[in-house]
Amino acid sequence: MLNGASSSGKTSIGRALLPLLADPWFLVPVDAIGAMRSAAHTRALDDGQIEEMLRRTRLGYHRAVAALASVGNHVVMDYPLGERWRLDVLLDVLEGYDVTLVEVWCAPAELARREQARGNRPAGLAASQTEVYGFGHDIRVDTTDTSPEVCARTIAEHVATLSPPKAFDRLRATALDPPSRG
């Protein structure tokens, strides 16, 4: 799982990572799931309805990844853990799967620059997602001055050397509240 703020480089790293991994892997960015949703209806929704639609989209994303993994597929998730409930649900939905949590970090000034250059994100989205970094990780890459290709090589080199318990296992063991099935 590539976890980082919007514009941190998760998708670029995921694309660079695929050819470096030994078995066939799927890159499943949450943005791809959101792009499948019709846009016409969202214009008529109020803020509460949009939030509920986004929650359902994220819950569906969790289960789509789990469904791919449940039949033996390897998946690279590209997903910001922007709200605690997302992690809680994933800890439950991905129970029994070998999850490597990769922190994709980027300096705030660079995030803001990338966000503005992209032009397809609300201003300040990346800055609002600082909570994505509070959960711990198995591998950390810093994309501020490092290319996606170098970050992908770092991940590929380290992922095979990790031994349990990994971040998801540690998070499950220390969870104070039981995971929400959401």
- Active-site residue, from 23, 31, 169, 177: 31
- Nearest-CA neighbor of 6 among 133, 167, 158? 133
- Rounded CA separation 36/28 (Å): 12
Cα–Cα dist 8/10, whole Å: 6
First to last CA, the chain: 20
What is the C-alpha separation between 139 and 101, in angstroms, rounded? 7
Please give the torsion angle defined by the CA atoms of residues 31, 154, 90 and 40, in that order, rounded to the nearest 10 degrees.
Answer: 0
Whole-angstrom distance, CA of residue 23 vs CA of residue 97:
16
31 is annotated as an active-site residue: yes
Active site residues: 31
